[in-house]
Amino acid sequence: MTSEQPVIRARDLLLESTRGVVYGPVDLDVTAGQLLGLVSPEGGGRTSLLLTLAGRMRFGSGSLEVFGHPLPRGTGMVQRHSALANFADIDELDDGLTPREILTERAGLLTPLWRRVPRWQDPAILASLQQVFGERPIPDPDCHVWELTALDTTLLQIAIALLGSPRLLVVDDIDALHDPADQLAVWRTLQRLTDGPDGTEETDGGVRLTVIASAAAPDLVPPEVAWVDPAGRPAHALVPASIQED
């Protein structure tokens, strides 16, 4: 962490519905380049809080600043510089399409009309894929999504989200991957995206990527990743000793 202005600053952030409290009250200070977990069981408000932090859902009370802009006034700017990955019914991939088709379509949406749309082999797309998959083989561009493993599907969603060079990435339901090894692989990927190989990786604009990701329980989060509870419990630098790595 640094002494620079937080990427996210929330105070007494609260959302209520007719059924009661959705999340909060939450206090958050998230700095550039940080990986933070949101930990709660299903229905605990983590998805709603992620969407709020990315400017996709309004909160009820309290205050929220993202990139130094107060919300809801700065919602448009926050949406332009943030991205979502692994959200059910939001960024799910069409099983009948191929990775090549999906990434080309996404790149086309991000490309100004006067520029050529990047293709699979273009540096921008390959860089995003290589950044996310690391040493893991990149999927065949012409296979169908239904042929991919659950882990490769999630990683592909993250790679797609990074095409727009966001400053903030929010990733939901890592625990939707049933294999603990796959969950850990996603967390390690997110650590690599924020830390970089030497801890100094930056985006093209010179701003380090900040990532907030959710899980259902503390034992699904690596012990070195700080996490908060959407119900308002304070951040934890370590999780219970029972899951510490040997």
The predicted-structure confidence for 68-87, as pLDDT tens digits, reads as follows 999 999 999 999 999 999 99
Q: 97 lies in a domain?
A: no
Tell me the CATH number at 38.
3.40.50.300
The predicted structure's pLDDT at residue 123:
85
Q: 3 lies in a domain?
A: yes
Q: 141 lies in a domain?
A: no
Question: How many independent structural domains does the chain possess?
Answer: 1
Residues 24, 14 contacting (CB under 8 angstroms)? yes
Over the chain, what is the mean pLDDT?
Answer: 86
Domain containing 47 equals 1-81+168-180+208-239
pLDDT classification of 203: cutoffs 50, 70, 90:
very low
The predicted structure's pLDDT at residue 243:
36
Q: 86 lies in a domain?
A: no
The predicted-structure confidence for 146-182, as pLDDT tens digits, reads as follows 999 999 999 999 999 998 899 999 999 999 999 999 9
Q: 117 lies in a domain?
A: no
Q: What's the whole-number mean pLDDT along residues 211-226? A: 92
pLDDT classification of 104: cutoffs 50, 70, 90:
confident
Indicate the pTM of the whole model.
0.87
